[in-house]
């Protein structure tokens, strides 16, 4: 290619990331961070060699058909369930993601949600702000212990491992469910069990598996019914792994005690039934939202694109 390749960056990115990309590409960005309707994305992407996308951009066969020149899709996220990787591979289109740079920040948020849900932080703060705090009582707002409890981690990848490491500081037993044994299980002091056993034995459960057809509604009515009385469920992975309607029901009728959610089935819409239950802490998909982490993600996507433009090996390719 004699000309600079054409790149579309679908969302506003940090100025230093634009600077990194600019010399290598004919760049179209989205400085206003406008939410483009699907047709606009298809239209803007149509003549592009490269795309820098995020989780809300669906990269499917329809989009690929509309982009005959496309050679690389770099997503500024670690999850890539929004990309049809097999369809990209068939067409020789490379795909890259952003592992590692968000691991610790996302594990921190998982931990924050666990603590907040177990100790009823959102619920009690709302109550305090409403001016309802008149007296103290021994049995007021009793929550669940986190320290010394058994933690169940579903998905023992990078983020699962980072959560398990934190659990040691809270003297917790760690169970995990994963397709294959984690190579670091001895170091983490974690024991691999079947999902049903994990749900029955863990005091608290954190979900960190990728979203795939196999993990769709992995946690539904049946699984929620198996959980321990008062247990906390945290989802920092993807909406759709939990059946949100079933969860809202279980939060009302038990046995689980509370939940902490960062992701939802129809993001950014939240199931109204979840908004009505007091014992759930809700955050708007902020797992990776620290400056260092988000800058790291955007820069890693840019580094992949620059490597591609220079004919160098990709930094973090995704394989079909
Ligand atoms: C992103 C995430 O913030 O990287 C991922 O897969 O879920 C988050 O870190 C989000 O996907 C932005 O689209």
Phi, psi of 44 (to 5 degrees): -70, -30
CA 93 to centroid of ligand 1, rounded, Å = 21
> Could you read off the pLDDT of 158-179 as tens digits, one per residue?
999 999 999 999 999 999 999 9
Q: What's the fold here for domain 6-101+291-309?
A: Rossmann fold (3.40.50)
> Could you read off the pLDDT of 306-318 as tens digits, one per residue?
999 999 999 999 9
Residue of minimum CA distance from atom 2 in ligand 1 = 77
> Could you read off the pLDDT of 97-125 as tens digits, one per residue?
999 999 999 999 999 999 999 999 999 99
Residue 97 Cβ contacting ligand 1 at under 6 Å: no
Residue 298 Cβ contacting ligand 1 at under 6 Å: no
How many whole angstroms separate alpha carbon 309 and alpha carbon 4? 8
- Report in angstroms the alpha-carbon separations of 24 from 3, 76, 104, 258, 309: 10, 18, 31, 49, 7
Give the 3-state secondary structure of residue 96: strand
Q: What's the fold here for domain 103-282?
A: Rossmann fold (3.40.50)
CA 38 to centroid of ligand 1, rounded, Å = 19
Report which ligand 1 atom has the smallest distance to the Cα of 102. 9
pLDDT band at 146 (very low <50, low <70, confident <90, very high): very high
Q: What is the mean pLDDT of residues 243-261?
A: 98
Start-to-end CA span in the chain (Å): 26
b (16+ CB within 10 A) / e for 83-98: bbbebbeeeebbbbbb
Q: What is the pLDDT of residue 184?
A: 94
Q: How confident is the prediction for the chain on average, in pLDDT?
A: 97
Q: DSSP letters of 251-315?
A: HHH-S--EEEES--TBTTB--HHHHH-TTEEE--S-TT-SHHHHHHHHHHHHHHHHHHHTTPPPS
Domain with CATH 3.40.50.720 in the chain: 6-101+291-309, 103-282
Q: What is the pLDDT of residue 42?
A: 98
Report which ligand 1 atom has the smallest distance to the Cα of 286. 3
Q: Which residues pair with 28 in a beta bridge?
A: 8
Instruction: Find out whether 14 and 298 touch, Cβ atoms under 8 Å.
Output: yes
Q: What is the pLDDT of residue 2?
A: 78
Report which ligand 1 atom has the smallest distance to the Cα of 289. 3
Half-sphere exposure of residue 205, counting CA atoms within 13 Å on the CB side?
A: 31
How many whole angstroms separate alpha carbon 109 and alpha carbon 250? 23
CA 202 to centroid of ligand 1, rounded, Å = 27
Instruction: Find out whether 58 and 35 touch, Cβ atoms under 8 Å.
Output: no
> Could you read off the pLDDT of 193-234 as tens digits, one per residue?
999 999 999 999 999 999 999 999 999 999 999 999 999 999
Residue of minimum CA distance from atom 1 in ligand 1 = 77
Q: What pTM value is reported for the model?
A: 0.96
Phi, psi of 94 (to 5 degrees): -75, 150
Does position 74 have pLDDT exceeding 80, yes or no? Answer: yes
b (16+ CB within 10 A) / e for 124-155: beeeeeeeeeeeeeeeeeebbebeebbbbbbb
> Could you read off the pLDDT of 154-163 as tens digits, one per residue?
999 999 999 9
Residue 78 Cβ contacting ligand 1 at under 6 Å: yes
Q: Which residues pair with 259 in a beta bridge?
A: 233, 280
Residue 77 Cβ contacting ligand 1 at under 6 Å: yes
How many whole angstroms separate alpha carbon 199 and alpha carbon 93? 40
* Percent of the chain whose predicted confidence (pLDDT) is above 70: 100
Does position 51 have pLDDT exceeding 80, yes or no? Answer: yes
Q: Which residues contact 90 (CB under 8 A, 6 or more apart)?
A: none
Task: Give the burial class of 319: count Cβ atoms within 10 A of its Cβ; 0-12 exposed, 13-18 middle, 19 or more buried.
Answer: exposed
Residue of minimum CA distance from atom 3 in ligand 1 = 288
CA 79 to centroid of ligand 1, rounded, Å = 6
Instruction: Find out whether 13 and 29 touch, Cβ atoms under 8 Å.
Output: yes
Residue 75 Cβ contacting ligand 1 at under 6 Å: no
Q: What is the pLDDT of residue 320?
A: 79
CA 283 to centroid of ligand 1, rounded, Å = 13
Which residues carry out catalysis?
238, 267, 285
């Amino acid at each position: 290619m004699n000309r600079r390749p054409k790149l579309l960056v679908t969302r506003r990115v940090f100025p230093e990331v634009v600077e990194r990309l600019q010399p290598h590409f004919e760049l179209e960005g989205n400085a206003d961070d406008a939410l483009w309707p699907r047709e606009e994305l298809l239209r803007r992407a149509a003549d592009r060699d490269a795309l820098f996308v995020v989780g809300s951009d669906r990269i499917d066969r329809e989009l690929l058909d509309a982009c005959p020149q496309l050679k690389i899709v770099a997503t500024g996220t670690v999850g890539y369930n929004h990309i049809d990787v097999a369809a990209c591979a068939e067409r020789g289109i490379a795909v890259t993601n952003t592992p590692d740079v968000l691991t610790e920040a996302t594990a921190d948020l998982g931990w924050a949600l666990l603590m907040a849900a177990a100790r009823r932080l959102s619920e009690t703060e709302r109550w305090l702000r409403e001016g309802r705090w008149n007296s103290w009582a021994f049995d007021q707002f009793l929550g669940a212990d986190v320290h010394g409890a058994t933690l169940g981690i579903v998905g023992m990848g990078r983020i699962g491992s980072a959560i398990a490491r934190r659990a040691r500081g809270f003297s917790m037993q760690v169970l995990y469910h994963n397709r294959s044994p984690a190579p670091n299980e001895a170091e983490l002091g974690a024991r691999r069990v079947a999902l049903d056993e994990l749900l029955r034995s863990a005091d608290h459960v954190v979900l960190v598996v990728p979203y795939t057809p196999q993990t769709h509604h992995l946690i539904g009515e049946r699984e929620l019914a198996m959980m321990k009385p008062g247990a906390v469920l945290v989802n920092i992975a993807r909406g759709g792994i939990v059946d949100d309607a079933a969860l809202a029901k279980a939060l009302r009728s038990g046995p689980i005690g509370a939940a902490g959610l960062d992701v939802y089935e129809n993001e950014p819409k939240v199931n109204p039934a979840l908004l009505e239950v007091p014992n759930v802490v809700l955050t708007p998909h902020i797992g990776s939202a620290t400056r260092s982490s988000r800058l790291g993600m955007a820069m890693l996507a840019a580094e992949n694109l620059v490597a591609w433009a220079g004919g160098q090996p990709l930094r973090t390719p995704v394989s079909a």
